[in-house]
Amino acid sequence: MINEQTYKLLEKALATSPGDWETRAHLIDLYLAAGLAPQAAAVLKAAPAIPQTETDLLRQARVELETDQIAAQLTLQSVLNLNRASATAYLLLARLFQKRGLRDEARKKYGAATVIDENLSDPELAAWLDQTPPPPPPAAPLPTAIPATSEPQPVAVTQQEMDAALQAINAPETAAEPERPKITFNDVGGMEEVVERIRMNIIYPFKNPEVFKKFNKKPGGGILMYGPPGCGKTHIARATAGECGATFISLAITDVLSKWLGESEQHLHQIFETARRRKPAVIFIDEMDAIGVSRTDASSAMAPLVNVLLTELDGIAARNDHLMVLAATNTPWRVDSALRRPGRFDRVLFVPPPDAPARKSILQICLRDLPAEGLELEKLARQTERFSGADLRAAVERASEKAIYEEMRTGRPVKLTQRLLADAIKETRPSTNEWLETARSYATYANRTGLYDDLVAYFEKG
């Protein structure tokens, strides 16, 4: 027990040097530990400035939790802006919702806290969460009044203000937006082999389920594409949806994780539900490696997310409910092997850097609607060894910018010329080299399962 004298001494020290944050923080902690929140709030309020570190903001939130719940929510939001993985911030949010009698919200936040930090527990809160909810609760009380003698007084808030604040903090950021792509395989340059395999494995089974049924075979299973960045994995997935007149839903694993930390499983499930409502649909999952790496780590915050994903994939394989799943990664060697079991991503496709004919056809697609004259695309294709599709697009854009500038400068119409494009190509660095170097080692040393046969063949050819 701290005796009165200690508080007095610390108060006195602060009166002479109010800017001594260390002493102030210590006194706040002592008051909080003694259950004297109003006193802690008064000490906090008298601070000339409060450092905006995670620890200090969390301390502030602990005080506000007892005295001003809206302020507490805003402070906790600031903590999460600093660190999306602050288990304590989620725990305090859970307690805040507990105070408001919002069991579901509290459960979500507590779940997030314990997923981030397995060792964290609050038995009292957990017991409350386990109780079966009582009949509809009466409107939750507003922040409880603080004894009249103490400072500061709680800010009076209406129920509506409180609910608005709660909503603001809970509103998910934009979900993966479904779209109806207009592009088809006609907009994909080269890549005939990849396109053909997608046709065989995804589109035909999808369009002719009865043939599969006749032979007692399940179409199911997704395709995992891998290859250097910018070489058209996303583009091909979008075109696949366009080919089938299907809805396209694209999500990147790191987005799912960072936007909805602690609630990402529900959101991932919701994305699949949205796809089911809008079927036929293609779900495209980018950055598959992001979950592969962490699953091997048993305490990973992502383990539940992987499980949701596996359940969804198994469900699709079993029910054949007009969903197609394509996934992509730049680092296939990091993808968890559980994801490659039959019915999941059992087909792994290498999406290589475009070869010369593919580069010519990508250039053709990029230049399709642009004013140009006298172009020798074959020559340009030869000059763009190791360029990705994205590099080619960037070079065409660079040349267009120069043409626009030239037209504005001279006041005469300017067209894209071989010269403009060749110059832009010289200024663009091919981006696939680094990837190919890394991949070469995997193809050489880690191809026991034959997973990288395509890659090996690619290097043998080239």
> Site residues (CB under 6 A) for ligand ADP?
188-191, 229-235, 328, 354, 362, 365, 389-390, 393
- Least distance to ligand ADP from the beta carbon of 236, Å? 7
- Least distance to ligand ADP from the beta carbon of 230, Å? 5
- Least distance to ligand ADP from the beta carbon of 240, Å? 12
- Least distance to ligand ADP from the beta carbon of 429, Å? 15
- Least distance to ligand ADP from the beta carbon of 244, Å? 18
Instruction: List, as one string, the DSSP characters of 82-141.
Output: H-TT-HHHHHHHHHHHHHHT-HHHHHHHHHHHHHH-TT---HHHHHHHHSPPPSSPPPPP
Q: Comparing C-alpha atoms, which of 53, 36, 58, 116 is closest to residue 84? A: 116
Q: List C-alpha distances in Å: 16 to 9, 19, 401.
A: 11, 9, 64
The SS3 call for residue 35 is coil
- Choose between 196 and 297: whose C-beta lies nearer to ligand ADP: 196
- Choose between 80 and 366: whose C-beta lies nearer to ligand ADP: 366
- Least distance to ligand ADP from the beta carbon of 187, Å? 6
- Least distance to ligand ADP from the beta carbon of 450, Å? 23
Retrieve residue 354's tokens: 């475009």
- Least distance to ligand ADP from the beta carbon of 362, Å? 4
- Choose between 103 and 359: whose C-beta lies nearer to ligand ADP: 359
User: Are 252 and 287 within 8 A, CB to CB?
Assistant: yes
- Choose between 10 and 365: whose C-beta lies nearer to ligand ADP: 365
Query: Which residues, including other chains, have CB under 8 Å from residue 132's CB and lie 6 or more apart?
Result: none
- Choose between 68 and 391: whose C-beta lies nearer to ligand ADP: 391
- Choose between 235 and 295: whose C-beta lies nearer to ligand ADP: 235
- Least distance to ligand ADP from the beta carbon of 44, Å? 49
Query: Which residues, including other chains, have CB under 8 Å from residue 391's CB and lie 6 or more apart?
Result: 230, 384, 428, 429, 430, 431, 432
The SS3 call for residue 283 is strand
Q: Comparing C-alpha atoms, which of 343, 347, 340 is closest to residue 320? A: 343
- Which helix (H) or strand (E) element contains residue 194? helix 192-198
- Please list the residues that pair with 324 across neighbouring strands: 282
- Choose between 228 and 292: whose C-beta lies nearer to ligand ADP: 228
- Least distance to ligand ADP from the beta carbon of 364, Å? 9
Classify residue 406 as exposed, middle or buried by CB count within 10 Å of its CB (0-12, 13-18, 19+). middle
Q: How many residues does the chain have?
A: 462
- Choose between 38 and 189: whose C-beta lies nearer to ligand ADP: 189
Q: Comparing C-alpha atoms, which of 242, 337, 341, 333 is closest to residue 284? A: 242
- Choose between 28 and 285: whose C-beta lies nearer to ligand ADP: 285
| Residue 124: other Cβ atoms inside 10 A | 10
Strands (E), 269-341: 281-286, 323-329
Give ∠ CA 258-298-124 in degrees, rounded to 5: 75
Q: By Cβ distance, which residue is nearest to ligand ADP?
A: 389
With tokens 């109780």, the residue in question is 131
Distance (Å, whole) CA 67 – CA 357: 69
- Choose between 36 and 246: whose C-beta lies nearer to ligand ADP: 246
User: Are 222 and 327 within 8 A, CB to CB?
Assistant: yes
